[in-house]
Amino acid sequence: MKKPLMAGNWKMNKTVSEAVGLVKTLKNAVSDVMNIEILVCPAFTALYAVNNEIRGSNINLGAQNLFLEPKGAFTGEISPMMIKDIGCSYAIIGHSERRQYFFETNELVNKKAKAAFVATLVPIVCIGETLKEREDNVTFKVIEKQIRESLSGFTLEQSCSVVIAYEPVWAIGTGKNAYPEQVQEIHCFIRKIYEQMYGKNAADKVRVLYGGSVNPRNVSDLMKKPDIDGYLVGGASLEAESFTKLIRYFK
**Catalytic site positions:** 95, 167
Residue 232 within binding range of ligand PGA, rule CB under 6 A: yes
Q: Does 62 bind ligand PGA (CB under 6 A)?
A: no
233 binds ligand PGA (CB under 6 A): yes
**Residue 39 in contact with ligand PGA, rule: CB under 6 A:** no
Number of residues that bind ligand PGA (CB under 6 A): 13
By CB under 6 A, residue 172 contacts ligand PGA: yes
* Distance separating alpha carbons of residues 46 and 243, to the nearest angstrom: 18
CA-to-CA dists, residue 77 to 59, 70, 108, 121, angstroms: 26, 10, 14, 17
Tallying the residues shown for the chain, one arrives at 251
Q: In the Cβ-directed half-sphere of 220, how many Cα atoms lie within 13 Å? A: 3
* Segment lying near ligand PGA (by CB under 6 A), choices 44-52, 54-62, 194-202, 232-240: 232-240
Q: Please tell me whether residue 80 binds ligand PGA under the rule CB under 6 A.
A: no
For ligand PGA, what does the binding mask look like between residues 173 and 212, x meaning CB under 6 A?
x-------------------------------------xx
Instruction: Enumerate binding residues for ligand PGA (CB under 6 A).
Output: 9, 167, 172-173, 211-214, 232-236
